[in-house]
Chain A
Amino acid sequence: MQSEELIVTEGGLEMDTMFVNMGPQHPSTHGVLRLGLTLAGEVITKAFPDIGYLHRGTEKLMETRSYHQCVVLTDRWDYCSAMTNNLAFCLSAERLFGTQVPPRAQALRVVMCELNRIASHLILLGTYGIDIGALTPFLYTFREREMILDLYEKCCGARLTYNYIRLGGVAADIDSGWVAKCREFLEFFKPRLDEYDTLLSFNPIFLARTKDIGIISKETAVAWGLSGPNLRGSGVSYDVRKSEPYCGYEQYDFEVPLGASGSCWDRYFCRVQEMRQSVRIVEQALAELPTGELMAKGVPKIPKPPAGEAYAHVEAPRGDLGIFLVSDGGAAPYRLHVRAPCFINLAILQEILVGKKVADVIAVLGSFDIVLGEVDR
């Protein structure tokens, strides 16, 4: 801490401002995020989010990797939802190649990505509870998340970095035993959602800490380019699954939950409701699982797409994840850009934290559900 210049409050009181480093090692920053906060008493007058501690240069790395190798690197961005990262990259590359993905692979992609959305939102529920001071929900949400990870392990062998969705399809098939186990999980999970509501969502202390805190208006949310539940929490109905359906999302019947006021609680509760919708989507996809191939025919071992540029985006659990891919006809992408939702969502902090109390920083930051692996790439 170091003191900065003198300021005079409204009551005519002279006081020092104080500079406080929150992070990069701080349990509530969910990774290596540093917030430089200038405080007047307990009120923030200036916030400076400092990122880059986890920058691994994957965009550069991919310029020397073949397309199949790139899929492995995508897992490492948002490691809480690696499936959607795989999917965004593969959709973009498939657009470049002009590959048609077989229907069974499309349905499996939807199943896996929606399960991943549930698993990812469960992490938020648990850790947000901890941030606010409720330790118990964490134990419950991680029990359910573990069941999803077991399903993944059974299907593709990995629990965190799956490398499951590949160019032209998916890597492994599921059998009837897997489907039964998945249905069993969904049946177990549905009543748990109500349990979370009693445990956390409508807990009076939790409500007091999150309702009417960190309000972002519709206009501000759009201007700062927020996406995902953070945008929908402010009441803007924008979901890539609805606006530009991919992998056959147009066949499934689901709703896009919206928040009312754009407060921390609205952002949080959007995610709770999204999990219900994800359960619906998985149920529908499993009910009408097409039979057939898992991989498109003729995807070469070392793919060399024709020169060109493609953009594809998906609705990741944390927002609108887009991949801009440039090919010069070689075996490696000439340039790959990630529109990382966490990175763009985080930028608004410098504006909305001003005027808040220090304790609210944790509530606001937690409600954004950032993963620093994706912020820094």
Chain B
Amino acid sequence: MSAGADFLDRLLAAVPGSQADTPVKDYPTVRLSAPKDLLPAARLLKDELGFDYLEMVTAVDWLGPVNLGGFVSNPNPNPFTQKHPGPPVSPVAGPGVTYRPVLDLLWSFGDLVKNRKVFLRLEVPRDRAEAPSLTGLFPAADWQEREAFDLFGIRFAGHPNLIKILTPDFLQGHPLRKDYVHAKDRYDAE
């Protein structure tokens, strides 16, 4: 997958401040330095380098271990063991990981003709989670950005219809954020 990296060189040269990142196994990955670089990078990928297939839009919250208040019931009841150990959430990060208050956005672009794929990444602060929308270039971004907005609270500037998509209208907060705590609603047991 690392072969044919000339498109990577062109991308890195055209977008100042971007750098090759630790690859998502085993695909070429580029980290952007600022949100304003996303649209030029995506346009270059689409129009000149042949990556016309937006495959995935998602994010990772690097705040730290998940808050178990985000789960409604007993996280992992097991009637067959006397004392179940609970969910396997590690309180400390493994080597090579630093918890930090950022959302790490991820876009994956595909080239269906040459069978190539490239990942773009961008870190945004958790309290100002904003990125440009790709809906103008790729209609496929429409629902995937709405999903990221719903579950992570990322605002995609320029999205024509940025509303909740998966969670119910009355649900407060963004469930995939690590500090999400479930607020009791009418469907919870008393």
Which A residues have a C-beta under 8 Å from some C-beta of B?
51-52, 55, 57, 59-61, 63-66, 95-96, 222-225, 236, 238, 243-244, 302, 304, 306-311, 320, 322, 324, 326-332, 334-335, 337, 339, 343-344, 346-348, 351, 376-377
Among listed B6-14, B122-130, B139-147, interface-contacting one: B139-147
B88 with A302: CB separation less than 8 A: yes
Given contacts A51-B165, A52-B167, A57-B175, contact A329 B89 (CB under 8 A): no
| Bound Cα distance from A222 to B24, whole angstroms | 23
Residues of B within 8 A of A64 (CB): 66, 68, 71, 75-76, 87-89
Q: How far is the CA of A331 from the CA of B93 in the complex (A)?
A: 11
Known A-B contacts A308-B25, A324-B106; A329 and B95 likewise in contact (beta carbons under 8 Å): yes
A376 to B175, CA, bound (A): 14
User: Can you list 20 pairs linking A and B with CB atoms under 8 Å apart?
Assistant: A61-B71, A64-B89, A225-B139, A236-B112, A244-B115, A304-B94, A307-B97, A308-B25, A310-B25, A324-B24, A328-B93, A328-B94, A330-B65, A331-B89, A332-B87, A332-B90, A335-B61, A339-B108, A347-B142, A348-B139
Tell whether A320 pairs with B115 under 8 Å between CB atoms, given A65-B76, A330-B94: no
Contacting A at CB under 8 A, from B52-106, are 52-56, 58, 60-61, 65-66, 68, 70-71, 75-76, 87-90, 93-97, 106
B residues neighboring A (CB under 8 Å): 22, 24-27, 52-56, 58, 60-61, 65-66, 68, 70-71, 75-76, 87-90, 93-97, 106, 108, 112, 115, 119, 138-140, 142-144, 147, 151, 164-168, 175-176
Residue pair A324, B56 in contact (C-beta under 8 Å) = yes
A71 nearest CB across to chain B (Å): 15
Apart from the given pairs A308-B96, A327-B94, A337-B58, 6 other A-B contacts in the complex at a CB distance below 8 Å: A55-B167, A60-B66, A65-B88, A328-B93, A337-B106, A351-B139
| Inter-chain contact total with CB atoms closer than 8 Å | 134
Q: Are B166 and A328 in contact (CB under 8 A)?
A: no
CB-CB under 8 A from B168, the residues of chain A are: 52
Contacts A96-B25, A224-B140; A52 near B93 (Cβ below 8 A): no
Chain B: CB-nearest residue to A302: B88
- The residues of B that contact A244 with a CB separation of less than 8 Å are 115
Provide the residues of chain B in CB contact with A63, threshold 8 Å.
Answer: 66, 89
CB neighbours (8 Å) of B52 from chain A are 222-223
Shortest beta-carbon distance from B101 to chain A in Å? 15
Nearest first, the 3 closest Cβ-Cβ pairs linking A and B are A329-B94, A225-B140, A330-B90
Which residues of chain A are within 8 angstroms of B71 by Cβ–Cβ distance? Answer: 60-61, 64
Interface centre among B27, B52, B87 (most CB of A within 10 A): B87
Contact A307 B94 (CB under 8 A): yes
* B119 contact set on A, CB distance < 8 A: 311
Question: Which residues of B are found within 8 Å of A343, using beta-carbon distances?
Answer: 143, 147
Query: Can you name the residue of chain B whose Cβ is closest to the Cβ of A64?
Result: B87
CA distance A309 to B106 in the complex (A): 11
B143 close to A306 (CB less than 8 A): no
Question: Which B residues are in CB contact (< 8 Å) with A351?
Answer: 139
**Does the CB pair A311–B97 fall under 8 Å?**
no
Question: Bound state CA distance, A51 and B87, in angstroms?
Answer: 30
Residue in contact with A66 in the complex, picked from B88, B164, B167, CB distance below 8 Å: B88
Q: Determine the residue in chain A with the shortest Cβ distance to B116.
A: A243
Q: List B contacts of A334 (CB < 8 A).
A: 60
A residues in contact with B96, CB < 8 Å: 306-308, 329
Once bound together, how far apart are the Cα atoms of A223 and B138, in whole Å? Answer: 6
Q: Are B143 and A344 closer than 8 Å at their CB atoms?
A: yes
Q: Which residue of A lies closest to B23 (CB)?
A: A309
In the bound complex, how far is the Cα of B88 from the Cα of A171, in angstroms?
23
Do residues B108 and A311 form an inter-chain contact, with CB atoms below 8 A?
Answer: yes
- Complex partner residue of A222 from B53, B94, B106, CB under 8 angstroms: B53
In contact, B25 and A243 (Cβ under 8 angstroms)? no
Please give the distance in Å from A316's CB to the nearest CB on chain B: 14
Closest to B108 in A: A311
Contact of A55 among B53, B54, B55, B166 (CB under 8 A): B166
- In angstroms, Cα B25 to Cα A367, docked, is 34
Q: Quick one: given A64-B66, A324-B106, are A306 and B94 in contact (CB under 8 Å)?
A: yes
> Which B residues are in CB contact (< 8 Å) with A52?
164-168
Chain A residues whose CB sits within 8 angstroms of the CB of B95 once the complex forms:
306-307, 329
